Amino acid sequence: MGSKEIIPPARAPRKRKPYQRSRKGCGNCKLRSVKCDETKPQCLKCNVYGVVCNYASTIADLQAPTQGVETWKLSNQTNGYKRLSKMPLEPLLQIAINCGTGASSFTLNDRCVDLMEQFRVTTLRSLGGPKFVDLGERLLAKYAVQYPFFAHTILAATALHERYLKSPRATTQTPSEFFHQNQSIKLFNEALSRPIEQDARDPLWATAGFLGIVTFSSFDATSPEEAWPLKPNDPSDLDWLRMSSGKMAVWNLTDPLRPDSMFLEAAQEYAQVFSPIPDRGIVGVDPQLAEICELDATSTISNPYFAVVHVLARQRSLEYDMSTKGRWLNFLHHMSQPFRAKLFEKDPRAMLLLALWYKRARKALWWIDRRATIETEAICIYLEKFCRDDIRIQSLMSRELKSERSVDPCQCSDEL
């Protein structure tokens, strides 16, 4: 395929399949147009996305959990967060707090304070289980006021999550989201360009993690034609993939599992992300997928598809809950450099494997949902037009990805 630009012509409006709403599902799932699993009193979808399930009409749509949780208040006496006893949430103290010192410092205004509270109460709980939440709260308390790059990053991530909860398909960044994302990237790069301070290692790694989420979610396309791989080639294509590679460089710089790191207690969670794959063979692998990727009993990591195919095999039976979040990220960790190169080349097999991961992981990771939904459809259209004679790929797409499609392939132009 190379660097050939794919410029789709104008097309007639697509006919979308009607969404089958569950009559018994909760209001949040109906609002977000996702299938409710109807678990009571709290359905799995609402639990994963960090909102109160609203089977009852007395509960507002997309309401954050507020009862009986611990809250934090900014204190100008402690220059940070002060932990309070369990109590219902209330607005944070309306005071101005200076974040950092020198040229990079800024004032946490009312909006920033509100976003930090949302981060702790809602966003953190949508990203991981109790251990992750506790770690995130302590990172917030210790570093948010001291390191502006970290503060801007959590503010950007929370503004992003807030927009997603209000409108999962919204593409326009809010002013808060845009400002804090740009500031976080600028200050983060500046911090990495200097010798790394010992005390800055944990906030630097935390910033890399949240910036990875923000970068993955930065997605402007509203249709498959506007998305990779269908849209014209652009230097920004697959920026999230470059960010993923950059995160590992920060990992090596900061060593998050060193003895004095706050992240050491999350070693088990990181073990999920980094869990190894078999040395060779195709035990447990879908035979059809093994054939497409030319894998057999003698195959090893020398095959660029080997690692991610084994990850997909493990994820077929993976449950969607907070305890498995790290396992869904295992795919990103095992994308080798040769596999990444295949994606940049728009290699059909690499794109098919990415679409299969998108299909499964987007149900567990809200921050990939919009990109995964639209890029999966774009990949399917691309493969239908440029690999139409590959019966194996077409057969597997029909079996595995048909439910992800909202476009009739017969309506697609032959001149993509």
Domains defined for the chain, CATH in brackets: 26-63 (4.10.240), 70-218 (no CATH), 272-411 (no CATH)
Q: What's the rounded Cα separation, in Å, for the pair 177 and 128?
A: 22
Q: 120: which DSSP letter?
A: I
Q: What's the rounded Cα separation, in Å, for the pair 84 and 75?
A: 11
The contacts of residue 258 (CB under 8 Å, 6+ apart) are 201, 264
Tokens of 267: 């070693």
What global pTM score does this model have? 0.74
The amino acid sitting at 58 is T
In Å, how far from its chain's centre is CA 372? 9
The amino acid sitting at 321 is D
Q: What's the rounded Cα separation, in Å, for the pair 357 and 248?
A: 20
Tokens of 399: 């079996």
Q: What's the rounded Cα separation, in Å, for the pair 35 and 23?
A: 10
Tokens of 126: 């949508």
pLDDT (tens digit, 0 to 9) for every residue of the chain, 416 residues total? 444 333 334 344 444 444 444 567 888 787 766 778 888 878 877 765 666 788 877 777 766 554 333 333 333 333 333 332 222 323 333 333 455 556 666 777 888 889 999 999 999 999 988 889 999 999 999 999 899 999 999 999 999 999 999 988 888 888 889 999 999 999 999 999 999 999 999 999 999 999 999 999 989 899 999 999 999 999 989 999 999 888 999 999 999 999 999 999 999 889 989 999 999 999 999 999 999 999 999 999 999 999 999 999 999 988 888 778 889 999 999 999 999 999 999 999 999 999 999 999 999 999 999 999 999 999 999 999 999 999 999 999 999 998 666 543 333 433 33
Q: Which helix (H) or strand (E) holds 289?
A: helix 287-292
In Å, how far from its chain's centre is CA 246? 16
